[in-house]
Amino acid sequence: MGLKDVVKKGAFVDILRGMSVTGTYFVVDKVTVEYPKEKLETYPRFRGAQALLTDPETGDTKCVACMLCATVCPSQCISIVGEQTSEGRSHPAVFDLDLARCIFCGLCEEVCPEAAIVMTRRYELATFDKNDFFLDKTALIANQAYAHKELFSRPAGEGAGGAEAPRGAAPGVTPAPAPAPADGER
């Protein structure tokens, strides 16, 4: 054992070095985001609960009940019953999505030819009643309030696949609290 190491070991150098690190953390500002008070902003590509977009004029969904999303879903959690409306346009009479089975993979949003179903930024899905996970058409349309802002900044035809607006702060800077979404949950 070299003398240098005996001295180093005797003077607890490595222990003190470790303590200096925890010491600096003691005084440095903390990184905790206190969840209910401050909420982190989600990124434009975040895949939260789904929503059905509606045409501003007719107020009806853009969905034409082509059953693509129901087929591609790996966990088969979407069930649709299509029907012909009066003007001859086909639209879903029943559009049920079982969030309890959904794995939030985003394949339904990707294959939808009408950009009707979209993943929103709603991630607070905890409820006391299991039936809240069973979203029917009206609940999906109500989810539009949480849709990503970037969707509407481009012409409707573009759909969700286009380039997203840059967002977010550089690492280390605590991000600004997100605007609280409309609380009219149900």
Partner 1 sequence: MSDQHDNATAAPEVQGSAVSGRPTLEELKERKARSRRRLEHTGEVMTISMGPQHPSMHGVYRAELDLDGEVIVAVRPEIGNLHRGVEKLCEQRTYHQIIPITDRLDYLAGFVMNHGYCEAVEKLMGLEVPVRGRYIRTIAGELCRIANHILWLGVHIMDLGTQTFFCICFRDREYVLDLLEMLTGARLTHSFGRIGGVAKDLPDGFDHRCRKAIDFLPQRVAEYERIVKHNRIYYKRAKGVGIFTSEDCYAWRVTGPTLRSAGVARDLRKDEPYAAYDEVDFEVAVEYNADVYDRFLVRMKEIRESCKIVRRCLDSLPDGPFVARDAGRTLPLKKNVLRDPAAMIQDFYQVFEGPQVPKGEVYRAIEAPKGEMGVYIRSEGGAKPARIRFTTPSFYHGQAVPPLVEGEMVSDMVAIFASIDVVLGDCDR
Partner 2 sequence: MSDPVAQFVFLLIKAILMPVLIIMMVAFIIYFERKFAGFFQGRVGPTYLGPWGSLQSFGDIFKLLSKEDLIPTRADKPVFRLAPYIAFIPAFLVMAVLPFGPVSEETYLFGYQFDYVIANFDTGLVLFLAMGAIAVYGVVLAGWSSNNNYSLLGGLRAGAQMISYELAMGFSVVGVMVMAGSLNLVAIVDGQAGNFWDWYFIPQVVGGLIFFIATIAELNRTPFDLPEAEQELVAGHLTEYSGMRWGMFYFAEYVNLVVISGIVATLYFGGWRAPFEVLDFIPGPIWLLVKICLLVFLYMWVRWTIFRYRYNQLMSIGWKVLLPLAILNLVVTAIVVNVVG
Partner 3 sequence: MSAEAVSAAGKAERPLPATLAAAKMELEERFGTRLLGSCEFRGELTYTVAPEDWVEVLRFCKETPALAFDQLDCLLGDHLPERAAAPLQVVAHLLSHTHGHRLRIKTPLVEGRGLSTVTGLWPSAGFDEREAWEMFGIVFEGHPDLRRLLTTEDFVGHPLRKDFPLQGTVGGRIRTDLRGKI
d(CA 36, CA 152): 28
Q: How many residues bind partner 3 (CB under 8 A)?
A: 7
Q: How many residues bind partner 1 (CB under 8 A)?
A: 51
Q: Which lies closer to partner 3 via its Cβ, residue 30 or residue 130? A: 130
Q: Which lies closer to partner 2 via its Cβ, residue 172 or residue 179? A: 172
The site map against partner 2 for 32-61 (x = CB under 8 A) is x-x---------------------------
Binds 179: which of partner 1, partner 2, partner 3, none (CB < 5-8 Å by kind): none
The H-or-E segment that residue 15 falls in is helix 13-27
Within residues 66-85, the interface with partner 1 by CB under 8 A covers 66, 68, 71-74
Q: Are 117 and 135 in contact (CB under 8 A)?
A: no
Binds 56: which of partner 1, partner 2, partner 3, none (CB < 5-8 Å by kind): none
Candidate list 41, 60, 96, 185; residue touching partner 3; CB under 8 A: 96
CA 42 to chain centre: 7
Query: Which of 49, 39, 51 has the alpha carbon at shortest distance from 152?
Result: 51
How far, in Å, are 14, 40, 104, 116, 157 from residue 110 at the CA level?
A: 53, 25, 12, 10, 14
